[in-house]
Amino acid sequence: MVRALIFFLVYVAAGATLKSLWPTLPRGWRAWALLGGSAVSLGILALPLVLPTADLPLVARIFAVGWTLSAVIVLLAGLPVLLVRRWVEGRSRKAPEAAPLLEVPPATAPLAGAMSRRALLTHAGRAVPMLAVGTSTAGLAGGATGFKVKTVEVRLPNLPAAMDGFRIGQITDVHVGNFIDTQYLRDAVAAMNDAKVDLQVMTGDLIDDLEQLDGTMAALETCQAPHGMLAILGNHEHWRGLEDIVAAYEASRARGSPVRLLVDESHTLEHAGQRVRVVGVDYPISGRRGMRVKLERMLESAQKAFQGVSPDEVLLCLTHHPDFFDLAAERGARLTLAGHTHGGQVAFFGLPLFWFVFQYMLGRYRRGDHQLYVSGGTGHWLPFRLGVAPEVTVLTLRAV
């Protein structure tokens, strides 16, 4: 219930902020609309905590997310306006009124209707609720439009001729659960099949709702790539039920499916006579529900997963957390594929808004002859995206 209490406090704080920014807004029917929307949203968010088996309609869950995001945006955008306005008002009250030495002629008086600083801040405050609603609506629309197939050409020096044109399809951070269903995942695998990729990979955070685990594995098993699909674990697999998810992968493999899970190990394949080794590492989670990445955990994974590597192999690496790239490059991985960041889910002009959160946030990075690609994610656990579309990535290797 702590989560419900936090949401309640956010709604109360947002309501108080709105009242300060625009005193006449939360009155009459508008006040009832704000109270009703907050109550409905809070009920939707709290119901699964009281009744875990409750199956709410998707539109209800999206409404609750949109309402909550609007409240958060009101706080983030409104509080600075309030602080500046009160600072300006405080300075005005403190400033002594000096008697004018000369009467100002009407011709030199300020123009009628000129906007004072206080009026400007008042209008800015009234724009905050429109900004909140507009931003949350645009973000929810971006999250609901589905994935795009993104093509990326990766030029690698001294790549063997047999590997020139080798195509990899990547999905990651699908998050089958409240907002992403198994049909969405099936469509993503179908997109890679249609692209005729040679190898499909799934780089972690596959599922959040274990009730959909069977359908999720069935969707992965529709892979038609000649070299099958290689998957790794993300932090959400550790959180949601690691044993059940690993068992589902093992059962799928026992049925003869093309899907194989790599946990600090590697898989070799041969393409046009060239030997390729794909390394897959576990998520370096710290504690049962920790988010902090431990370098020692990554080092342990690297030592296990890169055993038996041969100089004549083309070495690829799959990691959920992109920070593993440095260790992979040191061990000879020509290309590392990662996810986890969702590209920050918000970007303007191609630049992630939260670029400072991760060392490698979105897109391509290079370290000498070694490259990293960080996908923006195929799905999401929060259906809000602005400037970072969900993607199914098709990467083509090219020799240079």
**pLDDT tens-place string over residues 305-361:** 999 999 999 999 999 999 999 999 999 999 999 999 999 998 888 888 888 889 999
Contacts of 251 (CB under 8 A, 6+ apart): 217
pLDDT, tens digit, 9 for 90 and up, residues 386-395: 999 999 999 9
- Whether 124 shows a pLDDT value over 80: the answer reads no
What pLDDT score does 99 carry? 53
pLDDT: which is higher, 355 or 364 = 364
CA distance 223 to 118: 61
pLDDT of 287 reads 58
pLDDT of residue 317: 98
pLDDT of residue 114: 40
pLDDT at residue 398 is higher than 70:
yes
Pair 362, 341: CB distance under 8 Å: yes
* CA–CA distance, 233 with 264 (Å, rounded to integer): 10
CA of 343: how far to CAs of 23, 179, 266, 281, 357, in Å? 38, 18, 27, 21, 10
What pLDDT score does 95 carry? Answer: 59
Phi, psi of 84 (to 5 degrees): -65, -40
> What's the whole-number average pLDDT of the chain?
88
Among 281, 317, 279, smallest CA distance to 299 is for 281
Give the range among 50-54, 77-81, 300-304, 340-344 with minimum mean pLDDT.
50-54
Does 284 have pLDDT greater than 60?
yes
Contact between 170 and 204 under an 8 Å Cβ cutoff? The reply is no
- 254-268 exposure pattern, b = at least 16 Cβ within 10 A, e = fewer: eeebbbbbbbbbbbe
Q: Over the range 347-379, which residues count as b (16 or more CB within 10 Å of their CB) and which as e? A: beeeebeeeeebebbbeebeeeebbbbbbbbbb
The whole-number pLDDT of residue 133 equals: 86
Count the alpha carbons within 13 Å of 338 in the hemisphere toward its beta carbon: 31
In this prediction, residue 109 carries a pLDDT of: 47
**Type of residue at 361:** M
Q: How much of the chain is in helix, strand and coil states, percent to nearest 5?
A: 45, 20, 35
Q: Is the pLDDT of residue 286 over 80?
A: no
Predicted pLDDT of residue 83: 85
Residue 44 has pLDDT above 90, yes or no: no
**pLDDT confidence of residue 105:** 54
Q: How buried is residue 52: exposed, middle or buried, by Cβ count under 10 Å (0-12/13-18/19+)?
A: exposed
- Give the range among 41-55, 160-174, 362-376 with minimum mean pLDDT: 41-55
Give the C-alpha separation, 215 to 221, whole Å: 10
For 96, phi and psi rounded to 5 degrees? -70, 145
Q: Which residues pair with 150 in a beta bridge?
A: 393
92-119: pLDDT as tens digits: 666 565 555 555 555 444 444 445 666 7
| Most confident among 49-53, 60-64, 341-345 (mean pLDDT) | 341-345
Q: What is the mean pLDDT of residues 116-123?
A: 71
Mean pLDDT of 378-383: 92
* Half-sphere exposure at residue 32, Cβ-oriented, CA atoms within 13 angstroms: 2
- Give the lowest-confidence range in 9-18, 133-142, 174-183, 215-224: 133-142
Task: DSSP for 265-331, please give it.
Answer: EEEEEEETTEEEEEEE------SSS--PPPHHHHHHHHHHHTTT--TTSEEEEE-SSGGGHHHHHHT
Predicted confidence band at 24 (pLDDT cuts at 50, 70, 90)?
confident
**Of the candidate ranges 69-83, 202-216, 276-290, the one whose mean pLDDT is the lowest:** 276-290
Confidence at residue 149, expressed as pLDDT on a 0 to 100 scale: 98
The pLDDT value recorded for residue 77 is 86
**Residue-level pLDDT at 97:** 56
What pLDDT band is residue 292 in, cutting at 50, 70 and 90?
low
pLDDT of residue 53: 67
Mean per-residue pLDDT for 134-142? 84
* Mean local confidence (pLDDT), 148-159: 96
**Percentage above 70 pLDDT, the chain:** 90
Helix axis angle, 2-21 to 28-50, nearest 10°: 170
**To the nearest whole percent, how much of the chain has pLDDT over 90?**
56
